[in-house]
Structure 1
Amino acid sequence: MDTEADALRDDIAGFGDNRLPFDGELYLVRQFYRPPESDRLLAILTAELDWREEDIFIFGRWVKVPRLMCWYGDADAHYSYSGVDHAPLPWTAELQAIRDKVERQCRYRFNSVLANLYRDGRDSMGCHADNEKELGPNPVIASLSFGDERLFRLHHKKRKKASLDIVLGHGDLLLMAGTMQHHWLHALPKTKQLKKPRINLTFRRILPS
């Protein structure tokens, strides 16, 4: 891990222990944004971001992504996954302000953000690891949630009995670091519960190709 990632680990230690029992680092900061500000940002992001319905190529065929998405970042922060290349949209004023606050907290620089809008409980994120080559060997990812709470589920790739469920709420910040993406898969499963919209912002650093 680079020196910036080491600084992130040291800084986050003040918010609590590593949530993972082994093979990686995962930290949770409850209400990184307090409810009134979270309400304001949820409304702005819902209305102003360029939400799109996308298709991805998995298991040999194209399928619709079960959520709305958009990709923002520095001009050179191109990101490819599941057969789709994402050219970044320029930062909005609100996204830039959020990035600045997250970077101050983490003492780590991010050059892009993947935004997901989960419209209801039927929208989801399949089981995966953020291990694309553009992210580097041990990526640091800051995941910020606004809106209705949803279950974030992790399980170890090899130790089948090793799993972890975390409910992410309005304004919560989750940080993934170390070797987590090598050893753990994560998902946001569908639910039959009545759910209001949720926005998730995952700040990343895309490395030059």
Structure 2
Amino acid sequence: MSLSVQGSLFDCAERRSLGDGAWIDVRAGWLGDHDELFDELMASIPWRAERRQMYDRVLDVPRLVSFHDLTAEPPPHPGLARLRVRLNDIYARDMGEPFTTAGMCLYRDETDSVAWHGDTVGRSSTEDTTVAIVSLGATRVFAMRPRAGGPSLRLPQGHGDLLVMGGSCQRTWEHAVPKTARPKGPRISIQFRVRDVR
């Protein structure tokens, strides 16, 4: 299987400053050949359910997940290696380090979600990091809100779209994929992160 991506990330890309050193790149239709990749990931990834302590209860995480350290193990699908190489070609110089992991979430339907959070585990509270998210499958809203309060963003992420959060974004903003009342088909989110960020 071959994957095609736009020749230049910034052809039709929108870099948006969010203030306080935070920014996002939004690239609709960045990934070509996404139907085949979606089907293959659905069938071949070792998806697993998780449970988490939430206050006084242990609850099912409302999505399936799979996490891979691409410096320590081969990727579970060759398409992930190709996407990582392309994203590192674009962003590693700016970040000063490459993307090293691929985390994946399978949102099975409209009731699956992820709560408000920032991807900062294992990093200093003052260190900037970059997270790149490739979306496959059904369009879902990617919501963002400033931690200090203020207007939020609702960014529809469709099949083959790329969203990159950089600068202080993980420290100064939170993001979520909310449940929706409208029926939705499955969506796979592939998150490429640098070391020690989850």
Which of the five TM-score ranges fits, normalised by the shorter chain? Answer: 0.7 to 0.9
Structure 1: 5+ residue stretches without partners? 1-10, 77-88
Secondary structure at the counterpart of residue 142 of structure 1: strand
- State the shift of 1:206 in Å: 1.4
Counterpart-to-counterpart distance in 1, 2:36 and 2:103: 20
> 1:141 aligns to what?
131
Task: Select 2:63's aligned residue among 60, 63, 67.
Answer: 67
1:129–1:185 contact (8 Å) kept in structure 2: yes
Indicate how the Cα distance of structure 1 residues 40 and 17 shifts in structure 2: closer, same or farther if over 3 A, else same. Answer: closer
2:63–2:108 contact (8 Å) kept in structure 1: yes
Indicate how the Cα distance of structure 1 residues 66 and 144 shifts in structure 2: closer, same or farther if over 3 A, else same. Answer: same
> 1:44 aligns to what?
40
2:105–2:190 contact (8 Å) kept in structure 1: yes
Is 1:200 matched with 2:183? no
Is 1:19 matched with 2:3? no
Identity %: 30
Query: If the length of structure 2 is used for normalisation, what is the TM-score?
Result: 0.83
> 2:141 aligns to what?
151
- State the shift of 1:135 in Å: 7.9
- State the shift of 1:99 in Å: 1.5
Is 1:91 matched with 2:89? no
Structure 2: 5+ residue stretches without partners? 1-7
- State the shift of 1:61 in Å: 3.5
- Number of residue pairs aligned between Structure 1 and Structure 2: 183
Is 1:187 matched with 2:176? yes
CA RMSD of aligned residues (A): 2.2
Task: Select 1:57's aligned residue among 50, 53, 60.
Answer: 53
- State the shift of 1:103 in Å: 2.1
